[in-house]
Amino acid sequence: MTLGSAAGRRLSTARMLMSQTQGSKMKKQRESQCTQKTISLLSPLGTIQVSGCENGVHTIQILMDVAPAERSSGAPLSCVVNDSPAETSPELQRCVEWLQAYFSEPQTAGSLPLPAFHHPALQGDAFTSRVLQVLLKDVKFGDTVSYKRLAEMAGNPRAARAVGGAMRRNPIPLLVPCHRVISSSGQSGPYMSGKGDHLKQWLLTHERQRGEG
């Protein structure tokens, strides 16, 4: 290898890194320029806040402000809008309709269109994005998958720990069902960094019971 070719490769690498950095900055700038609105729902898990812009949903937050609702056999579960701006985007409205169906008529949720997502964690080809997209597409209502198996499905069998990190960074829980990812031993594993383990158990039971119904 000549000095000239080595220098050329270093220059090419530097340009590629600069391009990636600029692309990342532009993405963050576009994200910060979004005008987000938030809809608040009263659900069986307590208050859920859905935030997004015209381009799609940014985040879903489960506030854990009350204990999860107790179930009575066959009784419908409600999920109602508690607070909403005067005007919301079609994508936010689509997300609200999906959540309402998930709790009240879960057998119909799978046939509803999902909203667009507009959060960096769900864009591009980074491992976190790949894992979340595979989870969304391939792990259906009532099913579960281990961290190890999800790593294999996302193309990196040795990345079970990284899958756990991706679950912690999931900005859109429920729609991107990180509650369906469990340990290889069959234990449910942590949810919302361990603070929402009881919610994970509730969701898995909800899906199992409603799926049987």
Sign of CA dihedral 40, 193, 196, 189: positive
Query: Angle 43-169-17 (CA atoms, 0-180°, nearest 5)?
Result: 145
Catalytic residue among 53, 79, 95, 178: 178
Separation CA 39–CA 36 (nearest Å) = 10
CB 188 within 8 A of CB 53: no
Looking from the CA of 7 toward its CB, the CA atoms found within 13 Å total 3
Per-residue tokens: 31 = 């994200």
Strand partners, 41: 48, 81
Q: Has 178 been annotated as catalytic? A: yes
Backbone angles phi, psi at 194, to 5 degrees: 90, -15
- Report how far residue 1's alpha carbon sits from residue 101's, in angstroms, rounded to the nearest whole number: 63
Instruction: Point out the residues that are catalytic.
Output: 178
